[in-house]
Amino acid sequence: MEKRRNDEVIVVGGGVIGLTTAVVLAEGAGRRVRVWTRDPVERTTSAVAGALWWPYKIEPLALAREWALRSLDVYEQLAQRPEATGVRMVEGVLGEGDLDGADAWATGRVPGLRAATAEEHGGAGLWARLPLIDMSTHLPWLRERFLGAGGSIETREVSALAEAEAPVVVNCTGLGARELVPDPSVRPVRGQLVVVENPGIDTWLTSSDAASGEMAYFFPQPGRLLLGGTADEGSWSLDPDPKVAEAIVVRCAELRPEIAGARVLDHRVGLRPVRDAVRLERELLPDGRILVHNYGHGGAGVTVAWGCAEEAAALASP
């Protein structure tokens, strides 16, 4: 019994970072792992993500790229079973990108990376084949994989990390870390999406206007097309703005005219947990217990999830 107690880990946070970390701990480290989460996976911020693999709004970029490439290894394996895992390898264009800017971190590893042709994109851009994750499938799959490894999930509101009295606690609370740590450097960057019927688009595209800073992107997911987006610094509103939604559709239709007539299915809003730098570190508490922080991944939580999870699991070792 004492050994089980010493092996116990509580992961606070049940989004993609928390669940992926819990899976790595339960499978690789053989720990007795419990996840404490305020919301079921279907109602976490991760569930709203467009979920294209590519570092976005995350620092430090050099480390983020390392975590991203490790995660890419995993997603390529998971993409062999897309119906089960929700992960597919899909081609598309990173608008306004160029091979010089992509640098060696991507050119030597990202599949199909090349300059986009004029037919593929009107301006400069990079063509690539990247993981595109359907979070409505991937998050429940992660949950079941974790439970299958012997883990358990408890739905509970946590008002302080001190409530988790396990020998090892892993803080994967995202934006919640602002109050729980407390860490006021964590801030929301609001993203709004419009979900429409897919008019036959099978590639993704991201684009941004250098002058206005406005973004446009569309991601084909099973049975729907996700349109975005926004990056509103410091906004806490979870209510979709009809005018913003209309503008998103207009911007995306400028890239693919057939989007203009697509029937709207849903509106979504998520708050990216942005920090000046991801906090991925070990803290030794006064009573000798270990607290590992793994939060502040901005708009790249899905992109770096597996790389960060493996590092967090190593930090959680006694």
Domain residue ranges of the chain, discontinuous segments joined by +: 2-315
Residue 248 DSSP SS3: helix
Q: Give yes or no for a contact between 301 and 212, defined as CB atoms under 8 angstroms apart.
A: no
Under DSSP, is residue 87 helix (H, G, I), strand (E, B) or coil?
strand
pLDDT in tens, 240-299: 999 999 999 999 999 999 999 999 999 999 999 999 999 999 999 999 999 999 999 999
Q: What residue type is assigned to position 77 of the chain? A: Q
- 301 known ligand binder: yes
217 annotated binding-site participant: yes
State the pLDDT at residue 123.
Answer: 82
Q: Is 112 annotated as belonging to a binding site? A: no
Task: Give every residue of the chain whose pLDDT is below 50, as ranges.
Answer: 1-4
* Burial bucket for residue 195 (CB in 10 Å: 0-12, 13-18, 19+): middle
CB atoms within 10 A of CB 162: 12
C-alpha distances out from residue 147 to 20, 188, 239, 285, 300, Å: 12, 30, 33, 28, 25
d(CA 138, CA 207): 25
What gap in Å lies between CA 121 and CA 130, rounded to an integer? 17
75 belongs to an annotated ligand binding site: no
Which pLDDT does position 4 carry in this prediction? 39
Residue 108: its pLDDT value, please? Answer: 82
pLDDT of the residue at 102? 67
Residue 302 annotated as binding? Answer: yes
β-partners of residue 281 are 293
Q: Say if strands 264-284 and 290-297 run parallel, antiparallel, or are unpaired.
A: antiparallel
- 3 state DSSP class of 83: helix
What's the predicted TM-score (pTM) here?
0.95
Compute the distance between CA of residue 167 and CA of residue 202 in angstroms, rounded to an integer.
48
Residue 299 known to bind ligand: yes
Q: Is 173 annotated as a binding residue?
A: yes
Token duo for residue 208: 């941004």
CATH fold for the domain made of 2-315: Rossmann fold (3.40.50)
